[in-house]
Amino acid sequence: MQKFDKLTGVAAPMNMINVDTDMIIPKNFLKTIKRSGLGKNLFDEMRFDREGNENPDFVLNKPAYREAKIIVAGDNFGCGSSREHAPWALLDFGIRCVISTSFADIFYNNCFKNGILPIKVTKEQLDDLMDDAERGANATLSIDLESQTIQGPDGGEVKFEVDEFRKHLLLNGLDDIGLTLQKVDKVDSFEERQNASQPWLAGVAKV
């Protein structure tokens, strides 16, 4: 997993509530063999018309936001199904952070598993950040996970909360697998013991 410590980038405003996982990545894109490559279909039904032409009014199609790294959105972001394809699609597009007043549980967890930082802020803070985001490329946001702060373009600062353990995982780029790999010594010694007591288990499958 890509680690997350500091991020500076354009924030795309999505001033709507209940952005669900079907909007993030419609279900006809789930029959894939990949986690990557979903970015081109992120928000597919909002971004493109039936013929596949870009909808010029959709925020991520506007010149200022095509390279956005952050999304600022209304309440209950990521509701709907448990599909991990939603964070996969965001990440593949280049979004590393979503700021909202609240998130759906599963989506919130899935973000951390995939190197995306979801930030919960108050209603007033969200309104300010939304205003900043509306100013496009002239108004980048800077996020510092270590100090748990968001810096606005005019020097304003927002403090946010994040679970200590999850923060640790993100800062160090550790997913479950990364964590287990830190215990590789224990796995090594387990294998040594097992190899001594049940030597017939190893080396069986061969190319």
Partner 1 sequence: MSGTKTLFDKIWQNHLVEVQDDGTCLLYIDRHLVHEVTSPQAFEGLANAGRKVRRPDLTLAVPDHNVPTTDRTARIESEEGRIQVETLQKNCKDFGVPMFDLQDIRQGIVHIIGPEQGFTLPGTTTVCGDSHTATHGAFGSLAFGIGTSEVEHVLATQTLLQSPLKNMRVTVEGALPNGCTAKDLVLAIIGKIGTAGGTGYVIEYAGKAIRDLTMEGRMTVCNMTIEAGARAGLVAPDETTFNYLMGRPMSPKAGAWEQAVEFWKTLPSDEGAFYDKEVTLDVSEIVPQVTWGTSPEDVAPITGTVPMPTSFKVDGKPEAAQASLDYMGLTAGMAITDITIDVVFIGSCTNGRIEDMRAAAEVAKGRKVAEGVRALVVPGSGLVKEQAEQEGLDQILLEAGFEWRDPGCSMCLAMNDDRVEPGQRCASTSNRNFKGRQGFGGRTHLVSPEMAAAAAVTGHLTDVRDL
45 binds partner 1 (CB under 8 A): no
Q: Which stretch binds partner 1 (CB under 8 A): 10-18, 95-103, 135-143, 170-178?
A: 170-178
165 binds partner 1 (CB under 8 A): no
Supply 202's token pair.
């190893």
Question: How many residues contact partner 1, by CB under 8 A?
Answer: 31
Q: How many CB atoms lie within 10 A of CB 140?
A: 20
31 binds partner 1 (CB under 8 A): yes
CB of 174 vs partner 1, minimal distance in Å: 11
Map tokens 């919130």 to a residue. 108
191 binds partner 1 (CB under 8 A): yes
Q: Which stretch binds partner 1 (CB under 8 A): 15-23, 136-144, 164-172, 189-197?
A: 189-197
Residue from 53, 156, 181, 195 binding partner 1 (CB under 8 A): 181
Which residues, numbered 96-155, are part of the site for partner 1 (CB under 8 A)?
113
Residues 6+ apart with CB under 8 A from 57: none
Q: Which of 121, 83, 97 is closest to 9 using CA atoms? A: 97
Map tokens 């972001």 to a residue. 77
Count H helices, E strands: the chain?
8, 7
Question: Among residues 47 and 96, whose Cβ is nearest to partner 1?
Answer: 96
Angle (CA) 118-70-87 rounded to 5° is 55
Three-class DSSP category at 162: coil
Q: Which residues bind partner 1 (CB under 8 A)?
A: 1, 31, 33-36, 84, 113, 176-178, 180-181, 183-184, 186-187, 190-191, 194, 197-207
